[in-house]
Chain A
């Protein structure tokens, strides 16, 4: 009842109803960066009833942030931004879940953090982190609501949305060239950060409610000149491939090796990975491992899908020779947990 009252004004909107509100309540979004963009995006998505918001920011509030990061108060200088922003949202709307992550998004934690959310909002102030977010979201097939600002202008786009272009499609990486400086060095008008942040909040709501037209083109707004520019781009397979390769190189370096499995370890292994897939190089369908009767149905590796990449794979063949090179192939393809049965089916049968 209280909820109905809270969302009354948006429930009155054409197309928006209890169903839509419920969809929003069951969604989760990770906002990377609680600076100028995040300060605008965050309160609007939480106020609208987005069920679960994660906020990543390692930084602490300084006086020079307050000109645009309007979630924060003078008295909060020195506190962590993610934690303060989370408190602000929780006070604004106690019905939603808000989780602060008071640390940097890095190559080590990005896959795990992002895997817990439906959508990522890129509110960072660093181009390398923007490429990192892109690469993780491409490999996990998640949309990114991207925003960035420069002095009196800003840009935003929804990336990697239903086969649309990615960040790398718009801006292929060129490591030989310096990347644009950030607000610290170049200056920025606070209201521009606010405008782009609010576009991002609106795009998040469009994606999650499945209402409205999601903006997959790159929009550049120049409110100071009263101008707007759009750039359309098709998804570029080569750029998508780069993102995927970066992700498979990055993810969990200790797991990114083929692990050898001895025949006698097989029963223990199967109870550790009850949903593992068994790939039998001698042919036939791929199946889940069967604990009661450890048999090896033959299988065709082409039946493996990208969404299976988080599952454990056991690769077997008759003598454990072909399966060894096949295991390397699956690592290349981005599978993280690849096991190879030493000695193959023959040795298993003998023992």
Chain B
């Protein structure tokens, strides 16, 4: 298992109920698996569009997440 810090913004923060949460995840988890995990834990996440960043870098679904990585989920804001 590995410990990951997850940051959330805008609507994703409102769904998680906190700006940051610490997650216990299996080793060598990829981004798509993280999404599936999060959407199971927080089902309203599956209704909105958001991107995932690892250490501030936007990543695709097959990227691996390592212990100590800072993971962020970011939705597009609509307001103007």
Contact = CB atoms under 8 A, between A and B. Distances in A.
Contacts of A111: none
Interface residues of B, number: 22
B9 A183 contact: no
Interface in A165-197: 165, 169-174, 177-183, 186, 188, 193
A183 B57 contact: no
Nearest to B52: A231
A153 B9 contact: yes
Contacts of B47: 177-178
A42 interface: no
Interface string A144-173: 000111110111000000000100011111
A225 interface: yes
B53 A231 contact: yes
Contacts of B57: 231-233
Given A153-B9, A153-B10, A220-B9, A231 B80 contact: no
B56 interface: yes
Contacts of B49: 171, 173-174, 177-180
B51 interface: yes
B80 A37 contact: yes
The binding surface of chain B is classed by DSSP as mixed
A165 B46 CA distance: 25
A84 interface: no
A170 B58 contact: yes
Contacts of B79: 36, 125, 148-150, 180, 182-183, 186, 188, 193
Contact of B78 (A127, A177, A193): A127
A125 B80 contact: yes
A88 B74 CA distance: 35
A126 interface: yes
A179 B48 CA distance: 6
B77 A180 contact: yes
Contact of B75 (A37, A154, A180): A180
A149 B80 contact: yes
Contacts of A130: 76
B70 to A, nearest CB: 10
Given A180-B77, A188-B79, A232-B58, 16 more contacts: A123-B80, A126-B78, A127-B76, A127-B78, A148-B76, A148-B79, A150-B77, A173-B49, A177-B49, A179-B78, A180-B48, A180-B75, A180-B79, A222-B9, A231-B72, A233-B57
29 contacts: A33-B80, A35-B80, A125-B79, A130-B76, A148-B76, A148-B77, A148-B78, A148-B79, A148-B80, A150-B10, A153-B9, A153-B10, A154-B77, A171-B51, A172-B51, A173-B49, A177-B47, A177-B48, A178-B47, A180-B75, A181-B78, A182-B78, A182-B79, A188-B79, A229-B7, A229-B9, A231-B53, A231-B57, A231-B74
